[in-house]
Amino acid sequence: MKPPMKKSSSLLLLCRFFSHINKSVGCVAKTTSTHDDGHGSHRSPLLEDVLKRLIANTSYAPHAIKAIDSAASSNLDLSFQTFLTIKTFVLSGDYHLAEMHYDAGGSVPKDSNYMPYLLESMIICYCRLGKFDKANKLMNKLFQYDGCYPSRLPYNLLLHGLCGRKKVMEALCVFNRMVVIDVGIFPSIRSYYSLIHGLCLNGKFVDAFHVFNVMIKSGTQPTSLIYETLVIHFCKWGRVDCAESLCEEMEDQFHALSTNKIVYNYLIYQYCKEQKMENALSVLMRMVDKGCELDSYTYKSLIHGFHAAGNVEAVLSFYEMMVVKGFIPDVSCQILNSECYKDRKCAQVDGKTNAIHSKQE
């Protein structure tokens, strides 16, 4: 499918032109540009083709509805009129009527020039009805027509719908086919997020990063929510190095915004889990500099991380900070009941811990 035409107002002008042509059909029939269908009616193949393309590409319902009357009075073939009727129902929001008319079938042969346009209209119809499996089957049929591809609306409706039904791999297949075709039609921000988020939830981090890279190359600016989704799930997968890189990129892109503290907490937790405490403190400093409030999750991650690293003084220092801030230690802080912490006074450790403490006061 070619990208939709923007000037649908030309459709109305053509409708008026068709009305004028119909009044002088006797003269038109004498030319070689008309066709006799064997029933005594004549039509112009050239004008029919122009009307077909204009109607197929218009997304404004009143224009298409206006055109169907002109098409009917212009002796256009039955398959085109069937397509017109279904498209009109779809544009008018009468999706159940469009489905019933399509299921009745028979009027549009598979090899008809109108079939790709009909398939696109029905993809929109099925997506609006929440029947994404049927829409996906029609999308596969559409791709089988040489040089045909969906326009932006059905493409995005199907991507978002499949992801919403947790059929993210089917959505990825549609996405990859459009990438291969490379016709300059890309998902919306909403669809990109749905696809990346769905892939992340399924542990497909390679595929999620692939979609992210395609997004960047297409010139679409990722939102902070997309960055946050990738950072959080990279942390969950143990790829803290990739998560850190994305977080820094996000900070550069959205330096004027306060980054979500959940993102920093995931980074700190993963660094503490790997006992990379210098990295954890570095992220903590950035978190404080951004104005993000430390919460109990932040303190508990650091307490457990320094405990695993054997740094008793740091554990007690962050425990004191946690209590001063009004967070009540829970069962996760029972490590403080071990012998190494009994009768110990809180000690200030390195400069980073001191700086964090002073900024939080």
Three-state DSSP state, 164: helix
Dihedral angle over CA of 41, 42, 45, 49, nearest 10 = -60
Same structural domain, 18 and 129: yes
Residue 329 within any structural domain of the chain? yes
Same structural domain, 174 and 276: no
pLDDT band at 280 (very low <50, low <70, confident <90, very high): very high
pLDDT in tens, 16-32: 444 443 443 333 333 33
Residue with tokens 């997506």: 127
Three-state DSSP state, 3: coil
Side-chain-side CA neighbours of residue 51 (13 Å): 32
Residue 252 within any structural domain of the chain? no
**Model pTM?**
0.73
Same structural domain, 6 and 137: yes
Residue 34 within any structural domain of the chain? no
pLDDT band at 37 (very low <50, low <70, confident <90, very high): very low
Listed residue (224, 223, 308) closest to 259, CA to CA: 224
Residue 38, pLDDT score: 45
83 touches 51 (CB < 8 A): no
Residue 11, pLDDT score: 46
Same structural domain, 1 and 118: yes
Residue 301: exposure state from Cβ atoms within 10 A (0-12, 13-18, ≥19): buried
**What is the rounded average pLDDT of the residues 324-337?**
72
The number of residues making up the chain comes to 361
Average pLDDT, the chain: 78
**Total number of domains in the chain:** 3
Residue 74, pLDDT score: 55
Three-state DSSP state, 43: strand
pLDDT in tens, 214-267: 999 999 999 999 999 999 999 998 899 999 999 988 888 876 555 678 999 999
Radius of gyration of the chain from Cα atoms? Answer: 31
Same structural domain, 185 and 143: no
Tell me, what amino acid is at 159?
L
Same structural domain, 143 and 213: no
303 touches 318 (CB < 8 A): yes
Same structural domain, 265 and 353: yes
pLDDT band at 5 (very low <50, low <70, confident <90, very high): very low
Residue 338 within any structural domain of the chain? yes
Strand partners, 43: 35
Task: Give the number of other CB atoms < 10 A from CB of residue 39.
Answer: 7
CA–CA separation, 9 vs 219, rounded Å? 30
Please report which residue ranges of 114-239 form alpha helices under DSSP H.
115-128, 132-144, 152-164, 168-181, 189-201, 205-217, 224-236
Furthest C-alpha separation in the chain: 110
Higher pLDDT, 6 or 214: 214
Parent domain of 303: 258-361
Percent of the chain with pLDDT over 70: 66
